Amino acid sequence: MARWQRGEAAIEQLLANGELQTVSGSAADGDPWLTKARRTLSTATVVADSDPESAWTLAYDAARFACTALLAQQGVTRQLAAGILPSMRPFGTSSADSSSDSADVPPGLTAQPG
């Protein structure tokens, strides 16, 4: 994996404190996340006129999925717990601060123990 100077120290810190973990193989493939992001954004555009609040939520979710794809392509992901991805909570918050939502895991993307 190519390293970037900008943000490298922050990523190294997140790896060191267990917020991120390195991944390889199919887990480092962001395509399933991008597919989910595109599908979610498409749904947002369909409901935008009739339900703008839901459209905003879906657009936000699509952005999260796209960012997850970017991390995967760089060989890192959120720390895996109990075989599923943790909820997309902000870095630095504990799992007690938010509930886990395994529905965010795209089909075919399986968690590997860290």
Question: What domain count does the chain have?
Answer: 1
- Look at 5-9, 39-43, 56-60, 97-101 and tell me which has the smallest mean pLDDT: 97-101
pLDDT of residue 78: 84
Residue span of the structural domain in which 69 resides: 18-79
User: Is the pLDDT confidence value at 62 over 90?
Assistant: yes
Query: Side chain identity at 27, as an amino acid letter?
Result: A
Kindly state whether residue 98 falls inside one of the protein's structural domains: no
Kindly state whether residue 85 falls inside one of the protein's structural domains: no
Kindly state whether residue 62 falls inside one of the protein's structural domains: yes
Average pLDDT, the chain: 77
Kindly state whether residue 90 falls inside one of the protein's structural domains: no
Kindly state whether residue 50 falls inside one of the protein's structural domains: yes
From residue 78, alpha-carbon distances to 42, 56, 92, 105, 111 in Å are: 25, 24, 12, 12, 10
Kindly state whether residue 63 falls inside one of the protein's structural domains: yes
Q: How many Cβ atoms sit within 10 Å of the Cβ of residue 23?
A: 19
**Number of H-type helices and E-type strands within the chain:** 3, 2
Kindly state whether residue 67 falls inside one of the protein's structural domains: yes
Kindly state whether residue 23 falls inside one of the protein's structural domains: yes
CA 23 to centroid of chain Cα atoms = 13
